[in-house]
Amino acid sequence: MLRLQTPALLVDGPALESNLAAMAAARPGPRLRPHVKAHKCTDLARLQDRAGHHNFTCATLLEMERMAGAGLGADLLLANEVVDASRLTPLIAAGARVTVAVDSMATIEAAAAAGVTEVLIDVDVGLPRCGCAPADAGPLADAARARGLWVRGVMGYEGHAVGVEDREDRTRQVDESMVTLREAHGEVGGEVISAGGTGSYDINRVATEIQAGSYALMDTAYDRLDLPFAPALTVLATVISVSRAGWAVADCGLKALGMDHGNPSLAGGGLVWFCSDEHMTFSMPEGEPVPVVGQQIEVIPAHVDPTVAYHEVLHVVDGAHQEVLDVWPIDMRGW
C-alpha cells in the first residue's frame, strides 16, 4: 500500500509504457517531436528517446538547457518566441542542435545574435497566440536567410482545434488550419512542417512532424477524445476532513492541480464539488460509504501540463499502485 506525503504525483508505469508504444507505432521516428512541456522530466524524455523519438520540442529556455544537459540535444526545437536567446549560445557551442521559432524581425535578430543558425517561421493558423500573419511568412523567411539563418520550414499550432470533442468537427478545423500552413510553407520552403498535438496526432495530414506531449501521461480533457492513450498520471491525495452532510475534503487543491480545463475527476468515481487553494471538496458515488479521515484517494487532473509543473517529483508505480518503482525529478520546472 502506498503511503506517501500528499499531494503526490503518481505515474502508472505500465500505462505510460503502453502510451509511448502506441504513439511510436502511429508516428515513428521523426514523425513525432515530443513536447516536453507536458511532463518536464528528462527521465521520461529518455523513455521517449528509447521509443525512437530523438527530436524534441521545448517551451522554455530552461527546458532547452536541461534536455541538452541530459544528452538529449540531437535536435531541439524551442517552439516559442524569445527576444533574448543568449542562453542558447552555450548549448550550441557544446554540440546541441538548436532550432527556434520566429515570427518577427525582433525574434529573428534575437536568434542571430545568440548564434542560432536554424529557425522555423511560426505562422498564425487560427489560434490567437504567437505566429505571423500567413502573408508575412515568405518575407520573414527571406529576411531570416538574409541574416544568415537556415530556414528549416514552418510551424503552426492548431491549438484551438486539438481539444474539440467531436472528431468530425475536430478534423474539419484541423484541415482548415493546415490549408493555411501549407500555403505559407509554399512561400517559405524548407523540409519541415511542424504542427499538431495529442488531439490531432492522427488526423493532421499536412505536418511532417507532430508536437504532441500530453499523450504520454494524459488527462481528462484529452481522455474525452477517445484516443488510444490511457490516463497514466494521478494525484495521490489524503482525506483530511469528512462532513456528516456527506461530503469530504482532500488535501489537493488549486496549488496541486491545473484547473484551466475544469475540475479534476476521482479515479474511483464520485463528484468533485470544487477546489480551493489546498482543498478539494468531493462526494462519493451514490451508495458508496463516505471515506474516512486518513484514507488516500487518486485524482485525475483535467490538464496535465500545469499539474506537473506544481510538483517536484513523479512517483512511478506498478499497475496495481501498491509499490513505488522509481522516483523521477521534475527537473525542467521553472524558466
**What CATH number does residue 267 fall under?**
2.40.37.20
**One domain, residues 105 and 167:** yes
Q: How many CB atoms lie within 10 A of CB 263?
A: 18
Give a yes or no: residue 3 inside a domain: no
Question: Does the pLDDT at position 79 exceed 90?
Answer: yes
Q: In the numeric block, which cell numbers belong to residue 90?
A: 552555450
* Residues 122/102, Cβ–Cβ less than 8 Å: yes
**One domain, residues 245 and 209:** no
Distance of alpha carbon 137 from its chain centroid, rounded? 26
Kindly report, residue by residue over 257-290, the tens digit of the pLDDT: 999 999 999 998 999 999 999 999 999 998 888 8
Helix or strand (DSSP H, E) at 113: helix 105-113
**One domain, residues 17 and 151:** yes
**One domain, residues 195 and 105:** yes
Helix or strand (DSSP H, E) at 274: strand 271-275
**One domain, residues 185 and 111:** yes
Kindly report, residue by residue over 230-240, the tens digit of the pLDDT: 999 999 999 99
Average pLDDT score over the chain: 97
**One domain, residues 198 and 241:** no
317 bridge partner residues: 12, 324
* Residues 14/188, Cβ–Cβ less than 8 Å: no
Q: How many CB atoms lie within 10 A of CB 224?
A: 12
**One domain, residues 126 and 165:** yes
- Model's pTM, two decimal places? 0.96
Closest CA to 115 of 96, 140, 130: 96
Q: How many domains does the chain have?
A: 2
**One domain, residues 29 and 75:** yes
Give a yes or no: residue 200 inside a domain: yes
Instruction: Give residue 68's domain range.
Output: 13-217
Phi, psi of 292 (to 5 degrees): -105, 155
- DSSP of 277-313, one letter per residue? SS-EEEEPPTTSPPP-TT-EEEEE-S-HHHHHHT-SE
| Averaged pLDDT for residues 310-326 | 94
**One domain, residues 89 and 37:** yes
Distance of alpha carbon 111 from its chain centroid, rounded? 24
Give a yes or no: residue 334 inside a domain: no
What pLDDT was estimated at residue 287? 85
**One domain, residues 153 and 57:** yes
* Residues 195/161, Cβ–Cβ less than 8 Å: no
Tell me which of 189, 217, 245 is where a domain ends: 217
3-state SS assignment for residue 142? helix
Kindly report, residue by residue over 30-57, the tens digit of the pLDDT: 999 999 999 999 999 999 999 999 999 9
Q: SS3 string of 155-186?
A: EECCCCCCCCCCHHHHHHHHHHHHHHHHHHHH
Please state whether the peptide bond connecting residue 289 to the residue before it is cis, i.e. omega within 30 degrees of 0: no
**One domain, residues 168 and 36:** yes
- Per-position b or e across 173-193, b if 16+ CB within 10 A of its CB: bbbebbebbbebbebbebebb
Q: How many residues can be counted in the chain?
A: 335
Residue 1's pLDDT band (boundaries 50, 70, 90)? low
Give a yes or no: residue 148 inside a domain: yes
Give a yes or no: residue 6 inside a domain: no
| Averaged pLDDT for residues 165-194 | 98
What pLDDT was estimated at residue 127? 97
Kindly report, residue by residue over 140-151, the tens digit of the pLDDT: 999 999 999 999
- Per-position b or e across 103-125, b if 16+ CB within 10 A of its CB: bbeebbbbbbebebebbbbbbbb
Give CA–CA dist 270/284, Å, rounded. 4
The amino acid at 186: G
**One domain, residues 23 and 54:** yes
Give a yes or no: residue 251 inside a domain: yes
Q: How many CB atoms lie within 10 A of CB 147?
A: 14
**What CATH number does residue 57 fall under?**
3.20.20.10
Tell me which of 158, 189, 217 is where a domain ends: 217
Kindly report, residue by residue over 107-136, the tens digit of the pLDDT: 999 999 999 999 999 999 999 999 999 999
Closest CA to 30 of 137, 152, 145, 131: 152
What pLDDT was estimated at residue 2? 81
Tell me which of 217, 252, 280 is where a domain ends: 217
- DSSP of 1-66, one letter per residue? -----SSEEEEEHHHHHHHHHHHHHHS-GGGB--BGGGT--HHHHHHHHHTT---EEESSHHHHHH
